[in-house]
Amino acid sequence: MSYPVHRPRRLRRTETIRRLVRETVLRPDDLIAPLFVRPGEGIRKPIQAMPGCSQMSVDVILTECRELASLGIPGAILFGLPKGKDASGSAACDPNGPVPAAIRALKTDLPNFLVWADVCLCEYTDHGHCGPLAKGRDGRTDVDNDRTVEALARAAVVYAEAGADVVAPSDMMDGRVGAIRSALDGAGLSDVVIVSYAAKYASAFYGPFREAAESAPAFGDRRGYQMDPANSDEALREVAADLEEGADIVMVKPALAFLDVIHRVKERFGVPVAAYNVSGEYSMLKAAAQNGWIDEERAMLEILVAMKRAGADIILTYFAKEAAKRMK
Protein backbone atom coordinates (compact mmCIF):
# COMPACT_ATOMS: atom_id res chain seq x y z
CA MET A 1 0.00 0.00 0.00
CA SER A 2 1.38 3.39 -0.93
CA TYR A 3 0.85 6.57 1.08
CA PRO A 4 0.53 10.14 -0.18
CA VAL A 5 3.72 12.18 -0.20
CA HIS A 6 3.91 14.57 2.75
CA ARG A 7 3.47 18.10 1.37
CA PRO A 8 3.91 20.66 4.18
CA ARG A 9 3.76 23.50 1.66
CA ARG A 10 -0.03 23.08 1.62
CA LEU A 11 -0.07 24.53 5.15
CA ARG A 12 2.08 27.52 4.13
CA ARG A 13 0.18 28.55 1.01
CA THR A 14 -1.79 31.52 2.35
CA GLU A 15 -1.55 33.87 5.34
CA THR A 16 -4.87 32.59 6.68
CA ILE A 17 -3.65 28.98 6.68
CA ARG A 18 -0.32 30.03 8.19
CA ARG A 19 -2.16 31.78 11.02
CA LEU A 20 -4.35 28.74 11.56
CA VAL A 21 -1.40 26.39 12.23
CA ARG A 22 0.96 28.91 13.84
CA GLU A 23 2.60 27.41 16.94
CA THR A 24 3.84 30.59 18.63
CA VAL A 25 1.69 33.70 18.78
CA LEU A 26 3.08 37.05 19.94
CA ARG A 27 0.59 39.39 21.65
CA PRO A 28 0.78 42.89 23.14
CA ASP A 29 0.03 41.19 26.48
CA ASP A 30 3.50 39.60 26.29
CA LEU A 31 5.33 42.95 26.26
CA ILE A 32 6.65 45.36 28.89
CA ALA A 33 8.07 48.72 27.79
CA PRO A 34 11.24 50.06 29.47
CA LEU A 35 11.04 53.83 30.12
CA PHE A 36 13.54 56.38 31.46
CA VAL A 37 12.14 58.99 33.85
CA ARG A 38 13.95 62.17 34.80
CA PRO A 39 13.14 65.26 36.89
CA GLY A 40 11.43 68.27 35.32
CA GLU A 41 8.32 68.93 33.31
CA GLY A 42 7.53 68.70 29.63
CA ILE A 43 10.81 66.92 28.89
CA ARG A 44 11.31 64.39 26.11
CA LYS A 45 15.05 64.16 25.52
CA PRO A 46 15.95 61.80 22.65
CA ILE A 47 18.57 59.14 23.33
CA GLN A 48 21.05 59.30 20.48
CA ALA A 49 22.15 55.68 20.70
CA MET A 50 18.55 54.40 20.82
CA PRO A 51 16.52 55.96 17.98
CA GLY A 52 12.88 56.35 18.97
CA CYS A 53 13.59 56.27 22.73
CA SER A 54 13.81 59.26 25.09
CA GLN A 55 14.38 60.31 28.66
CA MET A 56 11.03 61.70 29.83
CA SER A 57 9.67 63.74 32.71
CA VAL A 58 6.78 62.33 34.73
CA ASP A 59 4.06 64.18 32.80
CA VAL A 60 5.42 62.89 29.48
CA ILE A 61 5.78 59.37 30.89
CA LEU A 62 2.10 59.54 31.77
CA THR A 63 1.17 60.43 28.18
CA GLU A 64 3.43 57.65 26.89
CA CYS A 65 1.85 55.05 29.15
CA ARG A 66 -1.67 56.06 28.15
CA GLU A 67 -0.68 55.21 24.57
CA LEU A 68 0.94 51.94 25.62
CA ALA A 69 -2.20 50.95 27.51
CA SER A 70 -4.38 51.83 24.51
CA LEU A 71 -2.31 49.39 22.43
CA GLY A 72 -2.92 46.57 24.90
CA ILE A 73 0.54 46.64 26.47
CA PRO A 74 0.00 45.72 30.14
CA GLY A 75 2.82 47.69 31.76
CA ALA A 76 6.16 49.48 31.79
CA ILE A 77 9.37 49.23 33.79
CA LEU A 78 10.84 52.51 35.04
CA PHE A 79 14.51 53.51 35.28
CA GLY A 80 15.33 56.73 37.10
CA LEU A 81 17.73 59.59 36.45
CA PRO A 82 18.11 61.54 39.70
CA LYS A 83 18.92 65.21 40.22
CA GLY A 84 22.16 64.29 41.97
CA LYS A 85 24.39 61.29 42.56
CA ASP A 86 26.74 60.20 45.35
CA ALA A 87 29.05 57.31 46.15
CA SER A 88 26.35 55.25 47.87
CA GLY A 89 23.50 55.87 45.43
CA SER A 90 21.30 57.27 48.18
CA ALA A 91 18.91 58.96 45.72
CA ALA A 92 17.55 55.51 44.83
CA CYS A 93 15.77 55.53 48.20
CA ASP A 94 14.34 59.05 47.89
CA PRO A 95 10.52 58.81 48.08
CA ASN A 96 10.33 62.05 46.10
CA GLY A 97 12.68 60.87 43.37
CA PRO A 98 11.63 60.56 39.72
CA VAL A 99 10.66 56.88 39.88
CA PRO A 100 8.36 57.10 42.95
CA ALA A 101 6.84 60.29 41.49
CA ALA A 102 6.14 58.53 38.21
CA ILE A 103 4.70 55.49 39.98
CA ARG A 104 2.26 57.62 41.96
CA ALA A 105 1.14 59.52 38.85
CA LEU A 106 0.68 56.33 36.83
CA LYS A 107 -1.25 54.44 39.49
CA THR A 108 -3.55 57.44 39.97
CA ASP A 109 -4.25 57.91 36.27
CA LEU A 110 -3.95 54.29 35.04
CA PRO A 111 -4.73 52.05 38.03
CA ASN A 112 -4.85 48.85 35.97
CA PHE A 113 -1.58 49.53 34.15
CA LEU A 114 1.23 47.48 35.70
CA VAL A 115 4.09 49.62 36.96
CA TRP A 116 7.45 47.89 37.39
CA ALA A 117 10.35 49.57 39.15
CA ASP A 118 13.89 48.52 38.33
CA VAL A 119 15.83 48.18 41.58
CA CYS A 120 19.51 48.96 41.14
CA LEU A 121 21.93 51.68 42.21
CA CYS A 122 23.97 52.14 39.03
CA GLU A 123 21.90 55.13 37.87
CA TYR A 124 22.31 56.75 41.28
CA THR A 125 26.02 56.27 42.11
CA ASP A 126 28.56 58.85 40.98
CA HIS A 127 30.92 56.04 39.91
CA GLY A 128 28.32 54.08 37.89
CA HIS A 129 28.70 50.76 39.67
CA CYS A 130 25.73 48.93 41.15
CA GLY A 131 26.38 49.79 44.80
CA PRO A 132 28.72 51.45 47.31
CA LEU A 133 32.37 50.49 46.93
CA ALA A 134 34.87 48.92 49.33
CA LYS A 135 38.44 47.67 49.22
CA GLY A 136 38.81 43.91 49.16
CA ARG A 137 41.53 41.88 50.87
CA ASP A 138 43.54 41.98 47.65
CA GLY A 139 43.38 45.79 47.62
CA ARG A 140 41.03 45.99 44.66
CA THR A 141 37.99 48.23 44.73
CA ASP A 142 34.73 46.33 44.36
CA VAL A 143 31.02 46.69 45.13
CA ASP A 144 30.22 46.02 48.79
CA ASN A 145 27.65 43.23 48.51
CA ASP A 146 25.99 43.51 51.91
CA ARG A 147 25.73 47.30 52.03
CA THR A 148 24.29 47.23 48.53
CA VAL A 149 21.69 44.62 49.46
CA GLU A 150 20.54 46.76 52.39
CA ALA A 151 20.13 49.78 50.10
CA LEU A 152 18.29 47.74 47.48
CA ALA A 153 15.82 46.50 50.06
CA ARG A 154 15.14 50.08 51.20
CA ALA A 155 14.67 51.25 47.61
CA ALA A 156 12.27 48.39 46.85
CA VAL A 157 10.10 49.38 49.82
CA VAL A 158 10.09 53.02 48.66
CA TYR A 159 8.90 51.99 45.18
CA ALA A 160 6.31 49.60 46.58
CA GLU A 161 4.97 52.22 48.99
CA ALA A 162 4.60 54.59 46.02
CA GLY A 163 2.37 51.96 44.40
CA ALA A 164 4.66 49.78 42.24
CA ASP A 165 3.08 46.46 41.32
CA VAL A 166 6.46 44.88 40.61
CA VAL A 167 10.01 45.47 41.86
CA ALA A 168 12.80 44.08 39.71
CA PRO A 169 16.28 43.83 41.26
CA SER A 170 18.87 43.96 38.46
CA ASP A 171 22.10 44.26 40.45
CA MET A 172 23.23 40.61 40.71
CA MET A 173 24.26 40.94 44.36
CA ASP A 174 24.14 37.75 46.43
CA GLY A 175 21.07 37.47 48.67
CA ARG A 176 19.24 40.51 47.41
CA VAL A 177 15.98 38.75 46.55
CA GLY A 178 15.64 37.34 50.06
CA ALA A 179 16.42 40.72 51.61
CA ILE A 180 13.87 42.48 49.40
CA ARG A 181 11.18 39.86 50.09
CA SER A 182 11.78 40.18 53.83
CA ALA A 183 11.70 44.00 53.68
CA LEU A 184 8.49 44.05 51.64
CA ASP A 185 6.78 41.55 53.94
CA GLY A 186 7.92 43.50 56.99
CA ALA A 187 6.42 46.68 55.55
CA GLY A 188 3.05 45.01 54.91
CA LEU A 189 3.70 44.85 51.16
CA SER A 190 3.70 41.10 50.66
CA ASP A 191 1.50 41.35 47.56
CA VAL A 192 4.22 43.14 45.57
CA VAL A 193 5.71 40.90 42.88
CA ILE A 194 9.46 40.37 42.64
CA VAL A 195 10.82 39.88 39.14
CA SER A 196 14.45 38.93 39.62
CA TYR A 197 17.10 39.56 36.99
CA ALA A 198 18.24 36.07 37.93
CA ALA A 199 20.58 35.43 34.98
CA LYS A 200 22.05 38.79 34.02
CA TYR A 201 25.15 38.48 31.90
CA ALA A 202 28.11 40.86 31.66
CA SER A 203 27.25 41.69 28.08
CA ALA A 204 28.53 43.99 25.35
CA PHE A 205 24.90 44.63 24.39
CA TYR A 206 24.26 47.12 27.21
CA GLY A 207 26.18 50.03 25.70
CA PRO A 208 23.24 52.18 24.51
CA PHE A 209 21.42 51.71 27.85
CA ARG A 210 24.34 53.29 29.68
CA GLU A 211 23.84 56.44 27.65
CA ALA A 212 20.09 56.30 28.25
CA ALA A 213 20.40 55.81 32.02
CA GLU A 214 23.64 57.82 32.35
CA SER A 215 25.09 54.87 34.23
CA ALA A 216 28.37 53.93 32.54
CA PRO A 217 31.00 52.79 35.10
CA ALA A 218 33.62 55.45 35.75
CA PHE A 219 36.26 52.71 35.91
CA GLY A 220 36.49 49.00 35.23
CA ASP A 221 33.44 46.95 34.30
CA ARG A 222 30.77 44.79 35.93
CA ARG A 223 32.20 41.35 35.21
CA GLY A 224 32.93 40.89 38.92
CA TYR A 225 29.21 40.62 39.68
CA GLN A 226 27.38 39.97 36.41
CA MET A 227 27.57 36.53 34.82
CA ASP A 228 30.15 35.19 32.36
CA PRO A 229 28.46 34.85 28.93
CA ALA A 230 30.10 31.43 28.52
CA ASN A 231 28.07 29.89 31.37
CA SER A 232 24.58 28.39 31.27
CA ASP A 233 24.66 25.84 34.11
CA GLU A 234 25.46 28.76 36.40
CA ALA A 235 22.29 30.48 35.24
CA LEU A 236 20.22 27.55 36.48
CA ARG A 237 21.90 27.77 39.88
CA GLU A 238 21.21 31.52 40.05
CA VAL A 239 17.56 31.02 39.12
CA ALA A 240 17.14 28.26 41.69
CA ALA A 241 18.62 30.46 44.41
CA ASP A 242 16.39 33.43 43.55
CA LEU A 243 13.25 31.28 43.50
CA GLU A 244 14.17 29.85 46.88
CA GLU A 245 14.60 33.39 48.23
CA GLY A 246 11.13 34.43 47.06
CA ALA A 247 11.29 35.58 43.42
CA ASP A 248 7.93 35.25 41.63
CA ILE A 249 9.24 35.66 38.08
CA VAL A 250 12.80 35.21 36.84
CA MET A 251 14.50 37.07 34.02
CA VAL A 252 17.26 36.30 31.53
CA LYS A 253 19.19 39.31 30.20
CA PRO A 254 20.16 39.82 27.39
CA ALA A 255 17.71 37.73 25.39
CA LEU A 256 18.85 37.36 21.79
CA ALA A 257 22.31 35.90 22.49
CA PHE A 258 20.93 33.74 25.33
CA LEU A 259 17.90 32.02 23.84
CA ASP A 260 19.33 28.69 24.96
CA VAL A 261 19.40 29.93 28.55
CA ILE A 262 15.78 31.11 28.35
CA HIS A 263 14.81 27.66 27.08
CA ARG A 264 16.77 25.82 29.79
CA VAL A 265 15.29 27.98 32.55
CA LYS A 266 11.72 27.44 31.32
CA GLU A 267 12.23 23.71 30.86
CA ARG A 268 13.88 23.21 34.26
CA PHE A 269 11.68 25.35 36.50
CA GLY A 270 8.35 25.85 34.72
CA VAL A 271 7.88 29.28 36.32
CA PRO A 272 7.05 32.56 34.55
CA VAL A 273 10.16 33.64 32.65
CA ALA A 274 10.93 37.15 31.42
CA ALA A 275 13.44 37.98 28.70
CA TYR A 276 15.00 41.42 28.29
CA ASN A 277 15.47 42.44 24.66
CA VAL A 278 18.23 44.87 25.59
CA SER A 279 19.38 48.19 24.20
CA GLY A 280 22.18 46.85 22.02
CA GLU A 281 19.86 44.34 20.40
CA TYR A 282 17.42 47.17 19.72
CA SER A 283 19.98 49.68 18.47
CA MET A 284 21.80 47.35 16.09
CA LEU A 285 18.52 46.50 14.37
CA LYS A 286 17.61 50.19 14.18
CA ALA A 287 21.02 51.00 12.68
CA ALA A 288 20.78 48.24 10.10
CA ALA A 289 17.28 49.36 9.12
CA GLN A 290 18.34 53.00 8.80
CA ASN A 291 21.05 51.87 6.39
CA GLY A 292 18.58 49.89 4.33
CA TRP A 293 20.26 46.58 5.15
CA ILE A 294 17.29 44.87 6.78
CA ASP A 295 13.50 44.98 6.92
CA GLU A 296 13.03 46.42 10.41
CA GLU A 297 9.43 45.34 10.98
CA ARG A 298 9.94 41.73 9.90
CA ALA A 299 13.23 41.41 11.78
CA MET A 300 11.75 42.95 14.93
CA LEU A 301 8.82 40.55 15.01
CA GLU A 302 11.02 37.57 14.13
CA ILE A 303 13.35 38.33 17.04
CA LEU A 304 10.49 38.80 19.52
CA VAL A 305 8.81 35.58 18.37
CA ALA A 306 12.12 33.75 18.80
CA MET A 307 12.27 34.88 22.43
CA LYS A 308 8.74 33.68 23.09
CA ARG A 309 9.38 30.43 21.21
CA ALA A 310 12.44 29.82 23.39
CA GLY A 311 10.23 29.97 26.48
CA ALA A 312 9.79 33.61 27.50
CA ASP A 313 6.36 34.44 28.90
CA ILE A 314 7.17 38.16 29.18
CA ILE A 315 9.43 40.24 26.94
CA LEU A 316 10.85 43.59 28.03
CA THR A 317 11.57 45.44 24.82
CA TYR A 318 12.11 48.97 23.51
CA PHE A 319 10.12 47.77 20.48
CA ALA A 320 6.99 47.33 22.63
CA LYS A 321 4.99 50.17 21.11
CA GLU A 322 6.08 49.48 17.53
CA ALA A 323 5.44 45.76 17.87
CA ALA A 324 2.00 46.23 19.45
CA LYS A 325 0.97 48.55 16.59
CA ARG A 326 1.87 45.81 14.09
CA MET A 327 -0.31 43.32 15.97
CA LYS A 328 -3.44 45.44 15.74
- In 3D space, the residue among 163, 156, 165 whose CA is nearest the CA of residue 183 turns out to be 156
Rounded CA gap, 291 and 285, in Å?
10
Domains of the chain plus CATH, in order, are 19-248 (3.20.20.70)
- Are the C-beta atoms of 70 and 80 separated by less than 8 Å? no
pLDDT per residue rounded down to tens, the chain (328 residues): 566 778 888 999 999 999 999 999 999 999 999 999 999 999 999 999 999 999 999 999 999 999 999 999 999 999 999 999 999 999 999 999 999 999 999 999 999 999 999 999 999 999 988 888 888 777 788 888 999 999 999 999 999 999 999 999 999 999 999 999 999 999 999 999 999 999 999 999 999 988 888 888 877 788 888 999 999 999 999 999 999 999 999 999 999 999 999 999 999 999 999 999 999 999 999 999 999 999 999 999 999 999 999 999 999 999 999 999 998 6
Model pTM? Answer: 0.95
Largest Cα separation within the chain, whole Å, is 80
Helix (H) / strand (E) containing 76: strand 75-80
Residues with active-site annotation: 200, 253
